[in-house]
């Protein structure tokens, strides 16, 4: 099993950062929440922070776990832990991705997410629905 962390980065307008994987890498063309493999002794939050620094040249502050899911891709099983994050500084530079977008939770339905990331999208939709109902 491969342990992976992802960052759900929300901006002041309530939009969330998603990134499209480059065509030539594994799961190319799929959208995802940026992150990477958790190293030995590292928490999901620490991993997400490190990966964003290494892969996108930005600094984030991480928070609580949004969702945790396991997905069998056939050649490997991935355990994905998604944590909330806030962008602190840096100019986003792409390495494993060819495009990024800041999207609302309802707009996520228009994107093809990597299978493991779908559980995060679903969790965000559930939270969004609960918040919408509480406002009325």
DSSP 95: S
Q: Which fold has domain 2-134?
A: Nucleoside Triphosphate Pyrophosphohydrolase (3.90.79)
pTM for this one?
A: 0.91
Q: What pLDDT shows up at residue 25?
A: 86
- Give the pLDDT confidence of 53-101 residue by residue, as tens digits: 998 999 999 999 999 999 999 999 999 999 999 999 888 999 889 999 9
All structural domains of the chain with their residue ranges: 2-134
Q: Inform me whether the pLDDT recorded for 46 exceeds 90.
A: yes
- Residues ≥6 apart with Cβ < 8 Å to 40: none
Instruction: Cite the DSSP H helix spans in the chain.
Output: 44-56, 115-134
For tokens 């002041």, name the residue: 12
User: Which of 24-28, 53-57, 106-110, 122-126 bottoms out in mean pLDDT, i.e. has the lowest?
Assistant: 24-28
Mean of pLDDT values over 109-126:
95
């Amino acid at each position: 099993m491969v342990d992976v962390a992802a960052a759900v980065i929300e901006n002041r307008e309530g939009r969330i950062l998603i990134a499209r994987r480059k065509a030539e890498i594994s799961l190319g063309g799929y959208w995802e929440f940026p992150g990477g493999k958790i190293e030995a002794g590292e928490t999901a939050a620490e991993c997400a922070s490190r990966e964003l620094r290494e892969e996108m040249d930005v600094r984030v502050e991480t928070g609580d776990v949004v969702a945790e899911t396991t997905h069998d891709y056939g050649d490997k099983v991935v355990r994905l832990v998604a944590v909330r994050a806030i962008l602190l500084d840096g100019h986003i530079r792409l390495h494993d991705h060819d495009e990024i977008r800041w999207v609302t939770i309802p707009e996520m339905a228009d994107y093809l997410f990597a299978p493991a990331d779908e559980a995060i999208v679903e969790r965000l939709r559930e939270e969004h629905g609960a918040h919408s109902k509480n406002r009325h």
